[in-house]
Amino acid sequence: MLKKRSLSEKIKKLFGLGKTEDQLFDDLEEILIEGDIGPRVAMEVIDELKNRKNKSKIKTRDDYLSALSQLLSQYLLIDTLLPVKGRLNVFLVLGVNGVGKTTTIAKLAHYFKKHHGVGKILLSAADTFRAAAIDQLHLLGDQLGFKVISQEPGADPGAVIFDTLSSAEKRSSELVLADTAGRMHTKNHLVKELEKIDKIIRGKTNKSNYKKVLVIDATTGQNAYNQAEIFHNAIGIDSVILAKYDSTAKGGIVISICNGLKVPFSFMGIGEKPDDLVSFDKELYLNSLLGST
């Protein structure tokens, strides 16, 4: 929370201290890197700002801020994550421990039903690692009126997904949202398990209706990039959701992930309740990141 604030606070303080131009650019580059935007993007942005400054296109603090916002926005990749009506869609939800996967699944189900009339959504409790995870999904499903397909704790996650897909076919469901275990992504077995799940889904679903959705925690910095990279290398990520955006003014890592992995962001989680999910808002994000609101 402090770090997001501090990026915008630092940018505010950057101007008006009687700095030389070189100092200003050096400090700004450091602030951007510290804000998890990534060294390459920071360098490119600074180069372009210098270029514009030389051409006298930017003079005031507001000029700098709007140029910065415009330049950073070019790196952001935003995409709509929406099930195709009349088909079975499968969204496999991934992420490390505690980022907000299970909560996000409930929010997505609620969102697609409420705003897009998606029918007969099934939730798949393929996080069989912890008994509490299965109970948590059942509780959310009961609260919101979604059927949950589960097996016993410790069951093969691939088997749970297979069951869910069979059930979805019988019921003409339009969407399966599958929870997965958030065990440490560095463990080989997790990657292996994901590859197996991925193969099962690919065997039963049309490629274009299958999305692998990564959840990251907005309060996490560089480590979120490493997580995204590992999942992306393992099975390929189609979309990222930024959870816990309400808990922090941080989130520079979004730009770093878009630029480094070329994966788009679709939603942001803005609280713990079912309605606390909104489409990724580029303007809100940049204004909040740079403190330009």
Ligand X SMILES: Nc1nc2c(ncn2[C@@H]2O[C@H](COP(=O)(O)OP(=O)(O)OP(=O)(O)O)[C@@H](O)[C@H]2O)c(=O)[nH]1
The CA angle 106-111-112, to the nearest 5 degrees, is: 105
Please tell me the count of residues contacting ligand X according to CB under 6 A: 20
Q: Is 38 in the site for ligand X (CB under 6 A)?
A: no
State in angstroms the smallest separation of the CB of 133 from Mg ion: 5
Selected from 243, 263, 289, 290, the binder of ligand X by CB under 6 A is: 243
Q: Is 83 in the site for ligand X (CB under 6 A)?
A: no
Phi, psi angle pair for 272, to nearest 5° = -95, -10
* CA atoms of 134 and 95, how far apart (whole Å): 16
Q: Is 104 in the site for Mg ion (CB under 5 A)?
A: no
Q: Tell me the β-bridge partners of 93.
A: 213
Here's the x/- map for ligand X, 168-187, by CB under 6 A: it reads as --------------x-----
Q: Is 251 in the site for ligand X (CB under 6 A)?
A: no
State in angstroms the smallest separation of the CB of 217 from Mg ion: 12
Selected from 89, 102, 128, 248, the binder of Mg ion by CB under 5 A is: 102
**Residue closer to ligand X (CB basis): 52 or 130:** 130
**Residue closer to ligand X (CB basis): 247 or 287:** 247
Q: Are 177 and 108 in contact (CB under 8 A)?
A: yes
Q: Is 97 in the site for ligand X (CB under 6 A)?
A: yes
Interhelix angle 61-73/39-54, nearest 10 degrees = 130
Q: Is 227 in the site for Mg ion (CB under 5 A)?
A: no
Q: Which residues contact ligand X (rule: CB under 6 A)?
A: 95, 97-103, 127, 133, 182, 243-244, 246-247, 269-272, 276
